[in-house]
Amino acid sequence: MARIDNRNKQNPKLLQAELSDGRASLYLEYYLGRSETPVLDDDGQQVLYTEGAMKGRPKFKVKHARKRENLNLYIWVHPRSTQERLQNKNTLALAEKIRFEREQEFLMHREGYRLKKDRSVNFLDYFQKYLDNYTKADVASMKTALTKFKRFLEASSKYDIFRQFIRADQITKSMMTDFAEYLQANGRGEGPAATFHRFKKVLRVAMEDELIRKNPCDGIILIRGENVLKKEILLPDEINTLLSTPCNCKYPDIQRAFALSLFTGIRFCDVRRLRYRDIDYTAQTLKFQQSKTRDRSNHSWVLMPLNDHLLTLIGQPSDDTNPDALLFNLPSYASCHDVILRWVEKAGIKKHISWHCARHSFAVNVLNGGANIKTLASLLGHSGIKHTEKYTRAIDSLRQDAINSLGNIIIPQTTPTHAVK
């Protein structure tokens, strides 16, 4: 049987994968290092060892990064002739020569490991090119991550020299720590953590493209504040005021679609994709798959019950309506956002309302109406109640505000009367 002689400290290692035709494919495996991520509990606190020699020390999840390079070279697993054995010998000699050359390249560039030797790539251009080919639903959030990183570079006297050009290997862990602090100081709610997560995602791609050896974002934790509702919400009276105010915009479907989100909690990315075939008018239900968790969760499908008012809002399709036709003709999110801001201002509501506020408003109003948290989690398409609990805290806050609005209690002082003996 053909065997590959590997030494423990070789990097990369020459390995083989057996094929069904009796041959083995040769490949190189590079060890790119390890990353440590703190282990957190449900409250976001770091978990400590409770026993053994590590008792009292923080736990970390260790991940080893490796990369494979196929050589397109093959050997016989069980050579049966002199010719096959000679072929194996020559192929292994060639593979070992390639491995040795790759090892020298690795040693030369171990501070910023790459097989591609072009060190002049501007990461800002690299990020933008990545966005140009990005097709997922969170493309707007990905663009925000790049925009905020550029603003961070411009705002910092320490990093402003990189505002026009920065290589991926110049993005250090210290810089990412400062970037995380910048995001938290200039954001609210889940925004900073979401932006940092997407920036880290692009750096992970840069690592796969061999521009950097390690992801400088690894080990940096931003608390999402998932149990605290930071966005504004519209209460029922405010919703009635808003819907009774004419929107007067170029796209009348914005008003109808936003109203549907207020009464169902459906995100903008899902509302704009709804089609008539998603509506069961007989059963009075709406069934759709969430864009955010599509193909990533067993809870991505949502079955939403509809009442007569919502069906009237959606409207009945005509006989010749294509079932695949969209329910609403909506422009971009930015255009919808501008319309909603003007609409809310026109209604005299002094709140900063975005489309996603409709989802939060629905959740708080449903809970305030007496629904239990598991029902709400199901309506919102959450996989559990962890992400839904922030709305119960919003209810508690509203109740506290209601009590505080009553003002001070003033009891007039009275002179006590004493019995006369």
Other CB atoms within a 10 A radius of the CB of residue 117 amount to 10
Domain ranges of the chain: 13-108, 123-208, 236-403
Separation in Å, CA 369 to CA 184, 343, 365, 366: 33, 26, 6, 5
Alpha-carbon distance values, 40 to 58, 120, 173, 183 (Å): 10, 38, 20, 21
Residue appearing with tokens 């493209």: 209
Residue 112, pLDDT score: 46
Please name the amino acid found at residue 409: I
Is residue 102 within 8 Å of 113, Cβ to Cβ? no
Do 340 and 332 contact (CB within 8 A), yes or no? no
Per-residue pLDDT of 344-394, as tens digits, reads 999 999 988 989 889 989 988 888 888 888 888 888 888 777 777 767 666
Q: Among residues 114, 145, 113, which one has the least CA distance to residue 128? A: 145
**Cα distance between residue 299 and residue 378, in whole Å:** 9
Q: Whole-angstrom Cα distance, residue 387 to residue 394?
A: 13
pLDDT of residue 410: 61
- Confidence (pTM): 0.50
Distances (CA, A) of 246 to 25, 90, 118, 342, 347: 68, 80, 57, 11, 9
Q: How many CB atoms lie within 10 A of CB 206?
A: 21
Yes or no: is domain 236-403 CATH 1.20.140.10? no
Of 72, 69, 106, 104, which Cα lies nearest the Cα of 91? 72
Amino acid occupying residue 236? P
Given CA atoms 5, 7, 11, 15 in this order, what sign does their dihedral have?
positive
Torsion of CA 358, 363, 365, 368, to 10 degrees: -160
Low-confidence stretches of the chain (pLDDT < 50) are 111-117, 226-228, 421
User: 279-280 and 285-289: which strand pairing?
Assistant: antiparallel
DSSP 10-30: -SSEEEEEE-TTSEEEEEEEE
Q: Is 63 helix (H, G, I), strand (E, B) or coil?
A: strand
pLDDT tens readout for residues 218-256 = 888 776 554 445 568 899 999 999 999 998 888 889 999
Please name which of 172, 215, 12 lies closest in space to residue 100, comparing C-alpha atoms.
12
Residue the block writes with tokens 């709804």: 274
* Confidence at residue 414, expressed as pLDDT on a 0 to 100 scale: 60
